[in-house]
């Protein structure tokens, strides 16, 4: 039973436009959320995180939004660049067990020049 879901396996966006990647979770105990970016043949790279006490966290072109009541988070990339083309994973940590993160199945973003 997948506790973190990314329902869009792929997304294609024009360079300069906004990319919005979505993630849903089912476990109300999740308290900490992260986004990772992965290029082929490399391990995932940490991008940005958010704690459940916030509803927004921003880092440069990347912003993560958290809607706890809907159990939904999203990653916004503005403006999108061709180098952003990668697979993006969202992950969630349990309030009492941050050491076990649950990952979604990923969304492959393609930013077209």
Partner 1 sequence: GAGVSQTPSNKVTEKGKYVELRCDPISGHTALYWYRQSLGQGPEFLIYFQGTGAADDSGLPNDRFFAVRPEGSVSTLKIQRTERGDSAVYLCASSLTGGNSPLHFGNGTRLTVT
Q: Residues interacting with partner 1, by CB under 8 A?
A: 4, 6, 32, 34, 36, 41-46, 49, 51, 89, 91, 93, 97-106
Enumerate long-range contacts of 27-30, CB under 8 Å, 24 or more apart. 27/3, 27/92, 27/94, 27/102, 28/71, 29/94, 29/95, 29/96, 30/3, 30/92, 30/93, 30/94, 30/95, 30/102
From the CB of 109, what's the least distance to partner 1, in Å? 15
Nearer to partner 1 by Cβ, of 19 and 104: the residue is 104
Nearer to partner 1 by Cβ, of 8 and 14: the residue is 8
Nearer to partner 1 by Cβ, of 5 and 76: the residue is 5
From the CB of 20, what's the least distance to partner 1, in Å? 19
């Amino acid at each position: 039973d997948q506790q973190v879901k990314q329902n869009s396996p792929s997304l294609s966006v024009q360079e300069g436009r906004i990319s919005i990647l979505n993630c849903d979770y089912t476990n109300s105990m999740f308290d900490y959320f992260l986004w990772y970016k992965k290029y082929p043949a490399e391990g995932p790279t940490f991008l940005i995180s958010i704690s459940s006490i916030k509803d927004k966290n921003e880092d440069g072109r990347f912003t993560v939004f958290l809607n706890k009541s809907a159990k939904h988070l999203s990653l916004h990339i503005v403006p999108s660049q061709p180098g952003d083309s990668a697979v993006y994973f969202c992950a969630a940590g349990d309030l009492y067990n941050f050491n076990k993160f649950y990952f979604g199945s990923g969304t492959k973003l393609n930013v077209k020049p």
